[in-house]
Each structure stands twice: as C-alpha cells, then as structure tokens.
Chains A and B, each alone.
Chain A
Amino acid sequence: MDAEREVLDVLARNAREDIDDIAAQTGLDAAAVADAIDALEADNVVHGYQAVVDWDRVDEGKIRAVVEINVELDRETGYEEVADRIAKFPAVDALHLVSGDYDFAVEVLGETMQDVSRFISEQVAPMPEVTQTVTHYIMETYKDGGVRFEDGDDDDRLSVSP
C-alpha cells in the first residue's frame, strides 16, 4: 500500500489522529505523513475534516431530511448545472446524483421541520428544472459515517485471558 493510502485509511477512521501517531501506526516518518496529507488535500481527495455528530443528543439539535428530487433537463441544462445550483444552498449538506427512480438524493439540515419544508417548497421546488420532490425526515439515526450510535463500550471479555 502506498503512503497516501495508508495515511488516508487512518484519517478515514479518525481524522483527529496527530501526525506523530499516524507516523507510528503506518511506520512512516512524520515528514512523510505530513507530505501525504498535503498531497491528499491538494489533490482534493480529502476535502475536509468533520466530527460524526449524533444531533439527537444535542440541545437545540438539528433536523435532517433526505429529499428525492426529479429534474427535467434541456439542451442548455445538464445535471452539473442543476447540481451546482442546488449545492449552493447552505442547508444542503450532501448532494448525490443517483441511479433509480429519481435523479438527486439531497441531505438537508435545518433547525426545525418547518425550516426544511420551507426550504424545499420555497427554494428547491420552484426551480424550473425540478419536476418533483419527495421529502423523508430522518426520525432516528442508528449509524452514520461508519459509526454505530450507541452507549458506551460493551466489552464483556475477561480482563486477562491466555
């Protein structure tokens, strides 16, 4: 495995690992780790670093919805152009072009359900290319970013064993 991939594997599990710990885990020296991170960022492989948040446990947390969007394209307007317009809204947390019954899957974050509905009905639905939207509010999140949301550790192994 090359150095960038090894560093990426560590960061993808825990983006808060410091450079010395990444170096220890990968067997690279610290300078090589720093170079690999610079390269990953410069090549837009790593776009940023975020916490995996369980918003349900935050006072004044956030509402999240997955919105299906169907669009109609014409000669001047392709998916790129529509995506570009939708992505500009700060309420849009994630935007994917997907296969299947609809075109875009959009994750929308808002303070309240009204915020999200208003955003969809007032900003997204009126766009000329958008033919249909279906909004699914997320009721409960069990796993996100590869992390299972549950309480504490359930290590029931014997503390010392042969």
Chain B
Amino acid sequence: MRLSDRARDLPESGIREFFELAEARDDVISLGVGEPDFSAPWAARTAAIDSLERGKTSYTANRGMAALRERVAAHHERYDQSYDPAEEVLVTTGASEAVDLAFRALVDPGDTVAVHEPTYISYGPGIELAGGERLTVPTRAADDFALTREALEASGAADADLLVCCYPNNPTGATMSDEEYAEVAAFCRENDLRVVADEIYAALTYGVDHASIATQPGMRERTVVVNGFSKAYAMTGLRLGYALGPTEAIDAMNRIHQYTMLSAPTTPQYAACEALDRCDDEVAEMVDEYNRRRRLVVSRFNEMGLDTFEPGGAFYAFPDCGGDDEAFAEELLESQGVAVVPGSVFGAGGEGHLRVSYATSMRELKEATDRIATFVENR
C-alpha cells in the first residue's frame, strides 16, 4: 500500500534496535527499562476494579472526569502551580497524548521547536508530525545536563517559536532549580518563546524539590505543563496523563482531543482519583527505594571509573563511558548480559554516555553493576 511521505520518513527509534538485541537473549539483566518496577498501588487498582464492577464503562467528559480534574489541580498546588480544573486541565491518554496535542495545538508548519538534548525520544517525531522543524539544543555534561541560557543562545533558539523542556530528565536524571529556570525563562520572555514542559518525573526527585518553568514570572501564560500517573504511581500501562495550561491552549488541545481520542480511558481515571486521594505514602516509599538504589548505582559507577554526576530526579543515572557508547553497550550486552541504553539514542550530547535505569530490584542492580565492573576491568 502506498504510505504517506510523513509516515515513510519517520525513522525507527534507536531504542528499538537495542530492544531487539536484548530480547534475543534470555539471561539478560536489563538496566534499560524506562518504567517503574513497582506495580500501581493496590488501592488504585482496586478502585479501577470497583469502577468496572459498578459498570463505569462509558466515555467520560472530553476533558476527563470533573472529580479527577479537581484532584489534579489540587495536587499541583504542591508545586506552586495553580490551574482551574474547569478550564485549564485536560486529561489525556498518557502524557504522550498531551505532548502530541500540545505540538498540534501550538506548532504551525514551518515553525521551529527548540528541544534540549539528550532527552526523551518522542519530541522530535512529534514536532515533525505537527509540521514543525526541530532545533537541537545540546546540554552539556559540564552543566550536569541542565539547560542554560548559553546553550539556547549558541544553538540559535532565539529564533525558535516553541521550547520543549523535560526535567527531571530522561535519560540523564538531571533536574533544574528555580534559579536555573530563571535565566531560561528570561530568554523565553525576551524571544517570545512558548514552552511545553514535560514534567512526568516531577514526583521522583531526591533531596531537591521539583521546580517548574511554568511558575517563573510571566511563564504561566506561555507554558503547557504535561504530567501524568505513569511514573509517580507506576501506572504506565493504564495510559493516563494530563496537560495544564492557559485556557486558550487547553481549549485548542481539547478540540483536537475530542476528535482524535474523545476521552481518556475511563477505568484508569477512577484509579487515578484514588491514587491522588490515598497513595502519597506509597509514592514516598517508592521514592525512598529509588533514592537508595540511585546512591548505590552512582557510587558504584564512580568507583569503577565511569564518571557519573549526581542525578536529582527520575530513575536514571547517566555515566560517562569514555568513548563509543553504542560499542560499549553492545559489547557489555554480548559479554556480560547486561542491557543499558547508549546515550546517543537520546540525541546530541548523549554520546559517550549510557542511560542506566535503576527501576530494577536492588539485588539485580548489585549483580548488574558487578558485571559492568568486570567488563570495565577487562576492556
């Protein structure tokens, strides 16, 4: 069948190749997984089951259940973000849909969208599907992969129309502070850049508070914040996210959403209400466990001579492997049966690094890091 040029030109993600290499073996310890190793809190799962038993299988409002939007808005007060649940919240099928809707609502054909890299792999294709052109803004290991005004200026982002921000960051685990955002926000105001801020890892920070660019002066009206339940509540497969933003942006996103998705799936919305009502303690326990693993992993990589900065969020460490990251990852998989993802998969600035997910049990992390240490010694 003849395909659209758009579809034909869309590249396979680099992570797919690595997935196939890892899947071909059955003895692999994988540090390549981008989702929690926990299950969703039981209370949230029972709320989903209960909703099914009560026959709650219809569509919800396009924007999502009012009860959920109210809880989402209340939940975000903890990040000093204030949104009207009636007009400024849109519940989506995963944060992925929210990102896609934001691009479609905010990008005109030919618009330039600045994306700091290394970062999550879906933004580039999403921008291109919306007709935009991606402008890469490399972040640097020397800055612990934070986004800086210098990086924006050097890459020509002053002429861009939109900026995509993803902190806490996948794949680096980097976070941004209010002070660091202040200079990025100033750059956005001066150059009239709007922002899509993917904050899906906001709940997973360690020793630092989550900061949002949307809370900087003059930024709320030019920013769409994306978040969801996948990472904080270990609900990846339930596909539930949301967008927060000024009314005109959320209205526009909802117009697209009502034709393409109608509403986010109903069952997860019940689970999410329960998660927001009752599962703070379980999230805190998961965060404590990730934090212990994070410290162990970072100290082990530094001990074996692979420089690793202290990541403040998400569940990734981003060690410097001192050379060709793809060769390193392939040889490591081949000789030791440990899967990590080459940093270059995540774009410019990721080369020479490895994404190591610590969303894996402590026992496996110890075994995997022992094997990596052996690999590094023999290499």
Q: Residues of A at under 8 Å CB distance from B?
A: 9-10, 13-14, 21, 24-27, 153, 155, 157-162
Q: Which of B18, B23, B34, B362 touches A14 (beta carbons < 8 Å)?
A: B362
Q: Contact between A161 and B15 (Cβ–Cβ < 8 Å)?
A: yes
In the complex, the chain A residue whose C-beta lies closest to that of B293 is: A25
| Interface pick from B82-90, B130-138, B238-246, B294-302 | B294-302
- 16 residue pairs of the A-B complex, CB under 8 angstroms, read A21-B366, A24-B296, A25-B292, A157-B33, A157-B35, A158-B33, A159-B32, A159-B33, A159-B339, A160-B23, A160-B32, A160-B33, A161-B15, A162-B34, A162-B120, A162-B170
Q: Contact between B35 and A161 (Cβ–Cβ < 8 Å)?
A: yes
Query: How many angstroms between the C-alpha atoms of A144 and B157 in the bound complex?
Result: 57
Among B121, B295, B361, the most chain A Cβ lie within 10 Å of the Cβ of B295
In the complex, the chain A residue whose C-beta lies closest to that of B20 is: A160
Binary interface encoding of chain B residues 276-316 relative to chain A, with 1 for a CB under 8 A from any of its CBs, else 0: 00000000000011001101100110000000000000000
B341 within 8 A of A: yes
In the complex, the chain A residue whose C-beta lies closest to that of B362 is: A14
Q: A10 contacts which chain B residues (CB < 8 A)?
A: 292
Q: A9 contacts which chain B residues (CB < 8 A)?
A: 288, 292
Query: How many angstroms between the C-alpha atoms of A148 and B32 in the bound complex?
Result: 26
Q: A162 contacts which chain B residues (CB < 8 A)?
A: 13, 15, 34, 120-122, 170
Query: How many angstroms between the C-alpha atoms of A160 and B330 in the bound complex?
Result: 13
A14-B362, A21-B366, A24-B299 as given contacts; A161 in contact with B33, CB under 8 Å? yes
Q: Which of B122, B292, B300 touches A26 (beta carbons < 8 Å)?
A: B292
A162-B15, A162-B120, A162-B121 as given contacts; A24 in contact with B300, CB under 8 Å? yes
Q: Which of B19, B289, B361 touches A160 (beta carbons < 8 Å)?
A: B19
Q: Residues of B at under 8 Å CB distance from A?
A: 13, 15, 18-19, 22-23, 28, 30, 32-35, 37, 120-122, 170, 288-289, 292-293, 295-296, 299-300, 339, 341, 361-362, 366
Query: How many angstroms between the C-alpha atoms of A27 and B34 in the bound complex?
Result: 25
Q: B13 contacts which chain A residues (CB < 8 A)?
A: 162
Query: How many angstroms between the C-alpha atoms of A160 and B293 in the bound complex?
Result: 19
Tell me, rounded to whole Å, the shortest Cβ–Cβ distance linking B17 to chain A: 9
In the complex, the chain A residue whose C-beta lies closest to that of B13 is: A162
Known: A24-B300, A25-B292. 19 other contacts (CB 8 A): A9-B288, A9-B292, A13-B289, A14-B362, A21-B296, A21-B366, A25-B293, A153-B361, A155-B37, A158-B19, A159-B22, A159-B339, A160-B32, A161-B19, A161-B33, A162-B13, A162-B121, A162-B122, A162-B170
Tell me, rounded to whole Å, the shortest Cβ–Cβ distance linking A89 to chain B: 36
Q: Contact between B295 and A25 (Cβ–Cβ < 8 Å)?
A: yes
The 9 tightest CB contacts between A and B, nearest first, are A160-B32, A25-B292, A160-B19, A159-B30, A24-B299, A24-B296, A161-B34, A159-B22, A25-B296
In the complex, the chain A residue whose C-beta lies closest to that of B291 is: A25
Q: A161 contacts which chain B residues (CB < 8 A)?
A: 15, 19, 32-35
Q: B19 contacts which chain A residues (CB < 8 A)?
A: 158-161
Q: Contact between B18 and A160 (Cβ–Cβ < 8 Å)?
A: yes
In the complex, the chain A residue whose C-beta lies closest to that of B297 is: A24
Q: Which of A27, A159, A160 touches B295 (beta carbons < 8 Å)?
A: A27
In the complex, the chain B residue whose C-beta lies closest to that of A10 is: B292
Query: How many angstroms between the C-alpha atoms of A27 and B18 in the bound complex?
Result: 33
Tell me, rounded to whole Å, the shortest Cβ–Cβ distance linking A158 to chain B: 7
Q: A153 contacts which chain B residues (CB < 8 A)?
A: 361
Query: How many angstroms between the C-alpha atoms of A10 and B18 in the bound complex?
Result: 34
Q: Contact between A26 and B295 (Cβ–Cβ < 8 Å)?
A: yes
Q: Contact between A160 and B292 (Cβ–Cβ < 8 Å)?
A: no
Q: B34 contacts which chain A residues (CB < 8 A)?
A: 161-162
Q: B30 contacts which chain A residues (CB < 8 A)?
A: 159-160
Query: How many angstroms between the C-alpha atoms of A154 and B230 in the bound complex?
Result: 19
Tell me, rounded to whole Å, the shortest Cβ–Cβ distance linking A109 to chain B: 28
